[in-house]
Amino acid sequence: MRILFIGDIVGRPGRECVARLLPSLRAQHKIDLVIANGENAAGGFGLSPKTAQEILDAGVEVITLGNHTWAQKEIIPYLDTDVPVIRPLNYPPGTPGRGWLRVSTRQGTDIAIVNIMGRVFMDPLDSPFRAADAVLAELADSIPVVVDFHAEATSEKVAMANYLDGRVSAVLGTHTHVPTADARVLPEGTLYVTDVGMVGPYNSVIGAETDAMVRRFVTQLPVRQNRRDQIEGPVSFNAVLLEIDSGTGRGRSIRRIDIIDEPPAER
């Protein structure tokens, strides 16, 4: 089974880029399932029902989230409806939405997608390691499992991947928006990359307007940012293509697909 996992989609440039590239990637690589992180899809912050629908219409089949989950308030009731959108699993019990989802691929194999958030330099959530254990205990039959580990610290991500090695098909890092060059198969067959990256403005500071971000770091003053929807120019598309044995759930290969995409000139 082949799965395409797309890094954090940032604003309109990211959404439009996914819609432009996905049909040909899907055909070229014979992809059975497309997953994308959508935590920055609505103007850079969070996901709205409208932007979620736009991403699903573009061909993404499951959307994961992260620390920006609650930025758009309409997402709260939406996450409790029957949509293929999940938020980090390790929020406190009673939080709206769910942290994992079981779906059928086009090939007919069931697979579980899990979204977990790290704690180092991030919100103080429940232990991501114990949350992973709990969900794996719930999945009594051994179906393939893909984990989006939304985290800042590379050490926490590598530790999680090794903790889950041989128990899940893949652990894929998201959140930093910077793609890492360490895509690999771990000793027990789990596919891993520290960060998938993003689909967002190429000339930017992790998807945000460069001048405003630089000014903020230089002056240490709060700086008003334009919505990330307004950044024109080329778009960085970062994803990974996974090949997983449908029977055993063992990872066979992981490779990066990184494209710098020029949007069409006329709008």
Query: What binding mask, one character per residue, do residues 142-171 give for Fe ion by CB under 5 A, x or -?
Result: ------------------------------
Q: Rule CB under 5 A: say whether 194 interacts with Fe ion.
A: no
Return the residue of 4, 34, 38, 40 that touches Fe ion, per CB under 5 A.
Answer: 40
Q: Which of 194, 198, 206 is nearest to 17 (CA)?
A: 198
Of 66 and 249, CB closest to Fe ion: 66
Residue 191 identity = L
Q: Point out which span in 59-67, 110-118, 119-127, 247-255 binds Fe ion (CB under 5 A).
A: 59-67
Q: Rule CB under 5 A: say whether 8 interacts with Fe ion.
A: yes
Cβ-in-10-Å burial (0-12, 13-18, 19+) of 134 comes to: middle
Q: Point out which span in 37-45, 120-128, 159-167, 241-249 binds Fe ion (CB under 5 A).
A: 37-45
68 is catalytic: yes
On whether the CB atoms of residues 115 and 87 are closer than 8 A, the answer is yes
Q: Point out which span in 6-14, 102-110, 113-121, 122-130 binds Fe ion (CB under 5 A).
A: 6-14
Of 16 and 148, CB closest to Fe ion: 148
- The encoded tokens of residue 49 equal 């029902």
Look at the chain and count its residues: 267
User: Which sign, positive or negative, has the C-alpha torsion 7, 13, 19, 21?
Assistant: negative
Ranges within 200-229 binding Fe ion (CB under 5 A): none
Query: What binding mask, one character per residue, do residues 66-105 give for Fe ion by CB under 5 A, x or -?
Result: xx--------------------------------------
84-88: long-range pairs with CB below 8 Å, 24+ = 84/56, 85/38, 85/47, 85/52, 86/62, 86/113, 86/114, 86/115, 87/115, 88/115, 88/116, 88/117, 88/125, 88/150
Active site residues: 68
Q: Which residues bind Fe ion (CB under 5 A)?
A: 8, 39-40, 66-67, 175
